[in-house]
């Protein structure tokens, strides 16, 4: 499974906002320049992040965007969900996509479902605060019968 550009850019941009000095608003053009991203594409991503309540805009000459929640409350999964990044390795994995017509007799469906749960749990355990501190959740993920 591979994250799309939308998901990777979304995480990079929100981490950039979280690292802003004194919680000052940061413009899309400033983030795009610092992260070497397309400003037009970043606008589309920020629209989704704002709609999901992850970030908010500040108007005025020194306006831009800031986090709308505490960095401890915003996880990588929160960001990916906000930008519409599908984490599911297969349609049967997360229960939100249209089910596969072969799901009932598919031997690999439980593997995709377990993989999704592990990935979802891992990404939900890494906050912006963790990233800025240079650490992640620190939990060891156990698969299958080791749980």
The CATH number of whichever domain residue 77 belongs to comes to 1.10.10.10
Model pLDDT, residue 69: 94
Question: Per residue in 60-81, pLDDT tens?
Answer: 888 899 999 999 999 999 999 9
Q: pLDDT > 70: what percent of the chain?
A: 88
What's the domain count of the chain? 1
Q: What is the pLDDT of residues 32-63, one digit of tens each?
A: 999 999 999 999 999 999 999 999 999 988 88
**In terms of residue numbers, what domain contains 119?**
5-146
* Alpha carbons within 13 A on the beta-carbon side of 93: 18
Q: What average pLDDT is seen over the chain? A: 85
Report the SS3 class of residue 42.
helix
pLDDT at 142: 41
CA–CA separation, 135 vs 4, rounded Å?
23
- Total count of residues recorded for the chain: 147
CA distances (Å), 104 to each of 71, 114, 145, in order? Answer: 41, 16, 22
Q: Does the structure show a pLDDT above 80 at 136?
A: no
Per-residue pLDDT for 145 more than 70?
no
> In 3D, which of 59, 64, 53, 83 has the Cα closest to residue 23?
64
**Residue 112 confidence (pLDDT):** 87
pLDDT exceeds cutoff 80 at 146: no
For residue 90, the Cα-to-chain-centroid distance in whole angstroms is: 18
Q: What is the pLDDT of residue 98?
A: 65
Q: Which two tokens stand for residue 92?
A: 């049967």
Angle (CA) 95 80 73, round 5°: 105
Q: pLDDT tens for residues 88-108?
A: 887 777 766 666 777 778 888
Q: How far apart are CA 86 and CA 42, in angstroms?
A: 18
Listed as own residue / partner, the contacts of 114-117 with beta carbons closer than 8 Å and 24 or more positions apart are: 114/143, 114/144, 115/1, 115/89, 116/87, 116/88, 116/89
């Amino acid at each position: 499974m591979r994250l799309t550009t939308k998901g990777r850019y979304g995480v990079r941009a929100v981490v950039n906002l979280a690292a802003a000095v004194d919680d000052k608003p940061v413009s899309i053009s400033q983030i795009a320049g610092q992260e070497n991203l397309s400003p037009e594409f970043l606008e589309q991503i920020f629209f989704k992040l704002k709609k999901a309540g992850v970030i908010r805009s500040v108007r005025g000459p020194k306006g831009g965007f800031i986090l709308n929640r505490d960095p401890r409350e915003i996880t990588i999964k929160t960001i990916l969900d906000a930008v519409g990044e599908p984490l599911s390795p297969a349609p049967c994995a997360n229960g939100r996509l249209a089910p596969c017509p072969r799901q009932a007799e598919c031997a690999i469906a439980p593997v995709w479902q377990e993989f999704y749960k592990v990935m979802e749990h891992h990404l939900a355990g890494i906050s912006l605060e963790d990233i800025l501190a240079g650490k992640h959740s620190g939990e060891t993920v156990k698969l299958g019968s080791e749980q």
